[in-house]
Amino acid sequence: MPYQYTPLPMFNALEEPVAGQHPAIGQAVRLLEKDGALGARMTGSGSAVFGIFDDRQKAKKAMSGLRLLCREVYLTRPLAGKSEKVTGGNKKWLLIKTQV
């Protein structure tokens, strides 16, 4: 199955060509999206893939699936600067960062 972008408000111009050479990147992004990520992308030039979740249980489920595909998987919460808003109502944004 060829790698394709999904219509998310995040963009990385290098993601499509890098994922074409390294299919695990596209697989990791699709797995994060399938498991409920609000958004998922490759970082920079491809050292990691991340997913943003509004539910810790969804993030943990995705983490389990990624462990079958990736060497390292981390579950964390983003730090906020003074001008950043990281909560929406009662939601806390969770991030899974994976090294493929």
Enter the pTM of the model. Answer: 0.72
87 CB-near residues (< 8 Å, 6+ apart): 93
What residue spans of 1-100 are helical by DSSP H? 15-21, 23-34, 56-66
Give the 3-state secondary structure of residue 79: coil
Enumerate domains of the chain plus CATH numbers.
15-78+88-99 (3.30.1360)
Instruction: Kindly report, residue by residue over 40-87, the tens digit of the pLDDT.
Output: 999 888 888 988 887 888 888 998 888 888 888 888 876 665 444 444
